[in-house]
Structure 1
């Protein structure tokens, strides 16, 4: 039989003293603890109490305060329409919300930034306090819908919370390690970049033992009114696999442009540090860069592979290699968004650049180059051949991003292209595009240039500063048949122009500045020269006597033009040789690409029979022509015939007598590239035979008759 319960009255006084003594002893031990230890223990006790209350109640009583606090903090209406849970389970935060929604700003086209029938997440609590990334260990999302949209002016977006006038920030996704998604959609709109996309996500159970499930997505959209499609999947590893990684596969198509990405992710949506492989193919690289919101010159067909990962705010493309057209390319590139503005940095190299692949960079059609080759660079406009490309610069596109690119080329492949070791430093800073320096080796010489395009205003302003260091003429012209053994002369040049316009043609057609080519002392042997359709050998033979039995001994020479509103006038053309002085008149036009030049060589010594007469170069840049028979030569022949009829046949030779009164040029002003007004004879006299020349044809192609008549009187010496 059990003992009856002991009443409090039956407890002896000694027992009571024992209990009281224990409590007193506990209080004494508590008081003896350091103050810091007592505070820590109180904090632990309070936290445990909070944890216990939340665990028991599942934190459902926080639903109202949660909506109020989050709505106030985000300055958006945040609602939970159904069940709500927020507690520690046991150490990670469990967040569950049914009928969850976040409103959009008033300007947005959709009422909600995000809605979901259910969100069930396990969140790392320390990530809410430390670090800049929120870590979600697992996420269940049912029938979610996200609307990501930029304003029309590109200044604000729907996901930048707080002040509605706050500048839009880049989208930062939380790190999600494992996810189950059912019936979720994503909508993205960027009116300024002309981009729209609609994606649908769903989860299916994987059919193997390694992966537990597969988050698949499909979608479509438009980029600058061009449609694209997207599909892919994220294979999440089975929980029983230690250290398993998510596998990502993405395939995107836009017309003939193809992108394929495959690799591993640390988490279901954890792109940071991902190990990915990219393969890109298509007809034109500019179409691909449109997806980045960047402008690139057109190219021919390409294929590239690259390692791809994300580190911080940078997307890094490393071990980049492939080809465009008939040219190779390798290197690395990064894309980031500092201050919300796209920045592209690249260090790339081409071992062999095909000349045809250079064409699209300056405005020639890649499709025509692909079909017609070099013939595609010439078009017929108003019945005249045009060589300078007229494709407009995408000024609006380059205003949207910045770039820093270093590009090196080992050599250029193509007919008669003695160019090697190209080095280009490109910088685009808020619509100011500089190619500085742009350098390359050419036939033993060195070309350095600085080209700046200022698109900060309209029209685009371009400055060209191109410099050729002293270059052996033999090597320079060797590709066209010059016998180097007889050519020792050198050549140096500078082009300094400024023009307005959105294309190469427009820019040069409005250009102002100066072009100068200087020939220091040396010799030239021009036998067997033939440059394109213009027979330089014939030209020089007509200029100088003895038909080049010996090399021409050049004392100094200057071929210079002053350019005004796209029209280049000879200022001056003056070449002094041992036996002759060659002067030139006329010029050319960047406007209609016409050539109208006349050259004449006068002997320094008496010559009984001199057939020299002005030799003309006419036609167009794309189709030049040489006129070896001039009106003066016909005039001499007519005069000779007349003298033969009225006198003796010997008298007819008097028409071809050259008294040899050509005045040698002072080489000082010539070698400094001075204008015609500064040229002097060796005696210091001002030259009267190198006045400013002008082109004879205007934009319409009609001659300025009065100016042309004056030129003929002063230069051709018509009787």
Structure 2
């Protein structure tokens, strides 16, 4: 053997001997002797007490699963018992336990080769009986926040980041507990985890939709958990199941989760998987939500939704938590009910800056008009109480006093389209084809358009509510076109032979945080034109107008009277509505209405004056009045002095000369057939609401 070969042989033998000696040393060394050093170093790095109180062991094993020559490389396996990590000094006496966290035992193995490129690779950690006691004070100090050690050269600067990288593959756990006292969020929770005893297959709970395809290899449910306490002041209870091994980085190993949680009046059921939690990966869940009102989700999720009747939904929730534009949550193909209305669609919530945004498309095949009442506070006190709302509608008021929650409007943006195929109000008022495009941007809410199909025509509106101003500023424009009278009153037989239509415009602006407050100081105008209709007491019964029953009975008795034209042009100034023109041209009389309706006080003060056509003995009827409140109107007959005033109306032109502004409402009808054409003059300008103050 040459000298070079002998040198190489002895060098290799020496290297093997050193490695063997090192292995023997590690295998036989009493690692408990280094515990004081480890405890001291870790405590210094974390800035709080750390201790391994039990045995510390290291032993070597090969990893056959590595394959090839790596299968013969021994890996060190570590085991430490009775580990505690203390709380920061400021938390002393404020937590249930003196320790931030504790473990009965921790076991893990370390891949040796990655140490050569400064990577601590731990494929798996198993935690036995973990527990944690988490605390956050109202000033923001949190026990789970660790202060970095300061540099010696500059105590005010944090230490340089370590070149070493920690890479953990999976975390296994056993029976454990976690408590949380978050004084900033007014939250106190207690979580307990226990083995199930017998694993539950993922597909048994998730169903085919989630268990099929790439979810076929999802592990079984191994542990059960229970949760109780308070979240943001609301009582919280929950239970569910999870898997036994949490893969922190491997997207091919989804972690199964299942939960049934109730928070206040809201209930949620989820089943699905969590992927890549260390890198804020993805969620794929089947989510069922139910509660007394969607508005109650705001304190739980930060998502601004309207007041609604009781609801329930069922859909698929997918989340991309590491998207560069912000965490995205997709609630796909969900179906549900809101009150007695169905609801379907897709929604996307992006947790972006400066405000999160909700967008999507919703539809309802059958929408009850009563279920829209809570949107403007027009629901009953009983319904409000069921949803947990404290505001009550005064017994003597008609206009809703429930305030809009404009503070929530500024917490989120939105861009949502809604379509309602069939709207159920009553058999006597056919409504269909609702469409609206809702946009919320920094407190400014617009519905442009909000459109209904009504009685063969359309009600088209544009609504602008600026919740960024205090009080709220509003602007509403309405346009009613081509309402067919025979469809508007399908149960009134005499109207079925009519070819008449109803057309109208309204433009109103105001300020205030409720419908009542807005109308109390509103400015604007309303215009209405009815061509070729009929009127009777039974018609008023259909409309539910008690005053109308009285008035029509006094004017016409029980007879059905043809209306050639009905025209109204009402101006509104500071909440006081006053007719500029309000006239009925019937086959035997001209009837005019004058007076005021006060939206601030909800008071009525109207005079109704008939003027007979032609020469008829004793045919002139006495003027009537309508007074009282919107809630309790009172009607009666004026005494003779007012009757004499009514008799002075001898020419139609005197009563309706200002009605020229209504001529544009004839346009949707055939002008030659419209009975109002002879009554009205040419209109110069369309309805226009006073512009609110410009938004700063």
TM bin, normalised by shorter chain, reads 0.5 to 0.7
Report the equivalent of 1:201: 193
* Contact 1:113–1:147, Cα closer than 8 Å, also in 2: no
Report the equivalent of 2:671: none
Task: Tell me by how many angstroms 1:277 deviates.
Answer: 2.4
Task: Tell me by how many angstroms 1:318 deviates.
Answer: 2.0
Q: How does 1:196-595 map to 2 (within 5 A)?
A: 196-203=188-195, 205-206=197-198, 214-236=222-244, 246-254=255-263, 257-265=266-274, 272-288=281-297, 290-312=299-321, 313-339=327-353, 342-364=356-378, 368-369=382-383, 381=395, 384=396, 386-415=397-426, 416-459=428-471, 461-472=472-483, 474-475=485-486, 477-479=488-490, 481=492, 483-501=495-513, 503-509=514-520, 511-519=521-529, 522-527=531-536, 528-530=538-540, 531-534=543-546, 536=548, 539=551, 550-553=562-565, 557-564=567-574, 566-573=575-582, 583-595=592-604
Q: 1:529 aligns to what SS in structure 2?
A: helix
Report the equivalent of 1:631: 639
Report the equivalent of 1:42: none
Q: Does 1:665 align with 2:657?
A: yes
Q: How does 1:17-36 map to 2 (within 5 A)?
A: none
* Contact 1:518–1:671, Cα closer than 8 Å, also in 2: no
1:59-89 deviation per Cα after TM superposition (whole angstroms, max 9, x unaligned): x9999899989988xxx63664236999999
Report the equivalent of 2:130: 143
2:176, 2:587 → 1: CA distance?
89
Report the equivalent of 1:687: none
Task: Tell me by how many angstroms 1:352 deviates.
Answer: 0.9
2:86, 2:355 → 1: CA distance?
27
* C-alpha spacing 1:196/1:441, structure 2 compared with 1 (3 Å): farther
Task: Tell me by how many angstroms 1:499 deviates.
Answer: 1.9
Task: Tell me by how many angstroms 1:150 deviates.
Answer: 7.7
Quote the RMSD (CA, aligned, Å): 5.4
2:523, 2:382 → 1: CA distance?
32
Structure-1-length-normalised TM-score = 0.65
Q: How does 1:99-248 map to 2 (within 5 A)?
A: 99=83, 101=85, 114-117=100-103, 120=107, 137-140=124-127, 142-145=129-132, 147=134, 149=136, 151=138, 177-187=170-180, 189=182, 191=184, 194-203=186-195, 205-206=197-198, 214-236=222-244, 246-248=255-257
Q: Does 1:77 align with 2:91?
A: no
1:99-131 deviation per Cα after TM superposition (whole angstroms, max 9, x unaligned): 464866969966999533355556999999xxx
* Contact 2:569–2:662, Cα closer than 8 Å, also in 1: no
Task: Tell me by how many angstroms 1:296 deviates.
Answer: 3.7
Task: Tell me by how many angstroms 1:364 deviates.
Answer: 4.4
1:271, 1:607 → 2: CA distance?
87
Task: Tell me by how many angstroms 1:220 deviates.
Answer: 1.2
* Contact 1:558–1:671, Cα closer than 8 Å, also in 2: no
Q: 1:81 aligns to what SS in structure 2?
A: strand
1:234, 1:291 → 2: CA distance?
23
2:579, 2:113 → 1: CA distance?
77
Aligned pair count? 584
Task: Tell me by how many angstroms 1:207 deviates.
Answer: 5.9
1:425, 1:87 → 2: CA distance?
66
1:361-402 deviation per Cα after TM superposition (whole angstroms, max 9, x unaligned): 222456725999xxxx99663xx3x22222333344444444
Task: Tell me by how many angstroms 1:595 deviates.
Answer: 2.1
Task: Tell me by how many angstroms 1:588 deviates.
Answer: 1.4
* Contact 1:560–1:571, Cα closer than 8 Å, also in 2: yes
* Contact 1:472–1:489, Cα closer than 8 Å, also in 2: yes
Task: Tell me by how many angstroms 1:573 deviates.
Answer: 3.7
* C-alpha spacing 1:89/1:418, structure 2 compared with 1 (3 Å): farther
Task: Tell me by how many angstroms 1:224 deviates.
Answer: 4.9
Runs of 5+ in structure 2 lacking a partner?
10-18, 67-74, 116-120, 150-166, 203-218, 322-326, 666-678, 683-696
* C-alpha spacing 1:125/1:452, structure 2 compared with 1 (3 Å): farther
* C-alpha spacing 1:140/1:388, structure 2 compared with 1 (3 Å): same
2:650, 2:125 → 1: CA distance?
101
Report the equivalent of 2:688: none
Q: 2:620 aligns to what SS in structure 1?
A: coil
2:480, 2:653 → 1: CA distance?
31
* Contact 1:519–1:558, Cα closer than 8 Å, also in 2: yes
* C-alpha spacing 1:223/1:547, structure 2 compared with 1 (3 Å): same
* C-alpha spacing 1:560/1:550, structure 2 compared with 1 (3 Å): closer
* C-alpha spacing 1:682/1:526, structure 2 compared with 1 (3 Å): closer
Task: Tell me by how many angstroms 1:348 deviates.
Answer: 2.0
Determine which of 629, 633, 645 is the counterpart of 1:620: 629
Q: Is the radius of gyration larger for structure 1 or structure 2?
A: 1
1:398, 1:86 → 2: CA distance?
60
* Contact 1:178–1:268, Cα closer than 8 Å, also in 2: no
1:163, 1:579 → 2: CA distance?
93
1:516, 1:182 → 2: CA distance?
69
* C-alpha spacing 1:348/1:246, structure 2 compared with 1 (3 Å): same
Task: Tell me by how many angstroms 1:185 deviates.
Answer: 0.8
2:6, 2:558 → 1: CA distance?
135
* C-alpha spacing 1:468/1:85, structure 2 compared with 1 (3 Å): farther
Q: How does 1:669-708 map to 2 (within 5 A)?
A: 669-671=661-663
* Contact 2:610–2:620, Cα closer than 8 Å, also in 1: no
1:544-565 deviation per Cα after TM superposition (whole angstroms, max 9, x unaligned): 99976554246xx33212130x
Q: 2:661 aligns to what SS in structure 1?
A: helix
* Contact 2:127–2:174, Cα closer than 8 Å, also in 1: yes
1:311, 1:584 → 2: CA distance?
63
